[in-house]
């Protein structure tokens, strides 16, 4: 093993140890060390292969998102989104890490939607979730496909509330119905699937009532 390979291995081990420590303790000082190490790794990974580059950028983005959650810094959130966009752009369509890249960017964008309610971010999340759903075929785990339907349904419902789009609301209901039909009654997620569909139907009923009242 060369000197550079040895340094890379030690850095990788240190990053993994810090992730484990942060996940078990939530210590902000550990997170600061983790962000610092990941920045250093990102700065030397420009010439790395696709998998390494994606992982480094994505991990730094996730760490910054964790820090944004702890501190409320919008700058960390914005940088996390930029990094996840770069990670996704570096991942070809059929790369095994593509869906993880799509998911990570979607999660970061939804965090910003929680704060800013930017419709552009919401639209981008929906595009990403459509890609994730299209990529999930009958060969993948049924739970993964059901989760993809539920996630897209929830985001469409959110946009429907924001924009009063009947099309978004109808599609959200269809997706939640399909997700519920794919979830057996004894499945741990059955109650959540039922609740998601019930909430979407409630919103459609209220919107229809409002429309009738305005006539």
Arithmetic mean of pLDDT, 186-206:
96
pLDDT value at residue 1: 47
Percent of the chain surpassing pLDDT 90: 71
Which pLDDT band, with edges at 50, 70 and 90, does 154 fall under?
very high
Kindly report the average pLDDT of the chain as a whole number: 89
pLDDT value at residue 48: 55
Least trusted range by pLDDT, from 36-45, 121-130, 194-203: 36-45
According to CATH, the topology of domain 136-215 is: Methane Monooxygenase Hydroxylase; Chain G, domain 1 (1.20.58)
Residue with tokens 């040895």: 6
Name the nearest CA neighbour of 118 among 74, 71, 173: 74
Percent of the chain surpassing pLDDT 70: 88
- 160 pLDDT more than 60: yes
Least trusted range by pLDDT, from 37-51, 62-76, 96-110, 178-192: 37-51
Distances from the Cα of 58 to the Cα of 1, 103, 108, 137, angstroms: 26, 11, 11, 25
- 45 pLDDT more than 70: no
- 210 pLDDT more than 80: no
pLDDT value at residue 49: 57
pLDDT value at residue 139: 52
3-state secondary structure of 77: helix
| pLDDT tens per residue, range 6-40 | 566 678 889 999 999 999 999 999 999 999 999 99
| pLDDT tens per residue, range 165-189 | 999 999 999 999 999 999 999 999 9
pLDDT value at residue 136: 78
pLDDT value at residue 119: 96
pLDDT value at residue 55: 87
Distances from the Cα of 79 to the Cα of 14, 107, 109, 112, angstroms: 23, 13, 11, 11
* 89-93, 132-136, 186-190: range with highest mean pLDDT: 186-190
Name the nearest CA neighbour of 150 among 169, 177, 128: 177
């Amino acid at each position: 093993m060369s000197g550079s390979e040895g340094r890379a291995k030690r850095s990788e081990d240190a990053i993994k140890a810090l992730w484990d420590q942060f996940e078990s303790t939530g210590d902000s000082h550990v997170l600061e060390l983790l962000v610092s190490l990941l920045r250093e790794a990102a700065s030397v990974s420009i010439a790395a292969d696709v998998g390494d580059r994606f992982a480094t950028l994505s991990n730094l983005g996730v760490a910054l998102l964790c820090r944004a959650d702890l501190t409320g810094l919008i700058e960390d959130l914005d940088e996390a989104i930029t990094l996840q966009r770069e990670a996704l752009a570096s991942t070809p369509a059929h790369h095994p890490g593509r869906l993880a890249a799509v998911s990570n960017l979607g999660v970061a964008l939804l965090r910003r939607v929680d704060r800013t309610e930017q419709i552009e971010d919401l639209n981008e999340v929906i595009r990403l979730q459509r890609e994730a759903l299209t990529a999930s075929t009958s060969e993948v785990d049924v739970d993964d496909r059901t989760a993809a339907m539920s996630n897209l349904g929830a985001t469409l419902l959110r946009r429907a509330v924001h924009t009063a789009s009947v099309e978004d609301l109808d599609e959200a209901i269809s997706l939640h119905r399909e997700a519920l039909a794919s979830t057996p009654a004894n499945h741990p997620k059955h109650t959540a699937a039922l609740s998601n569909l019930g909430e979407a139907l409630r919103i459609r009923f209220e919107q229809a009532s409002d429309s009738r009242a305005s006539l």
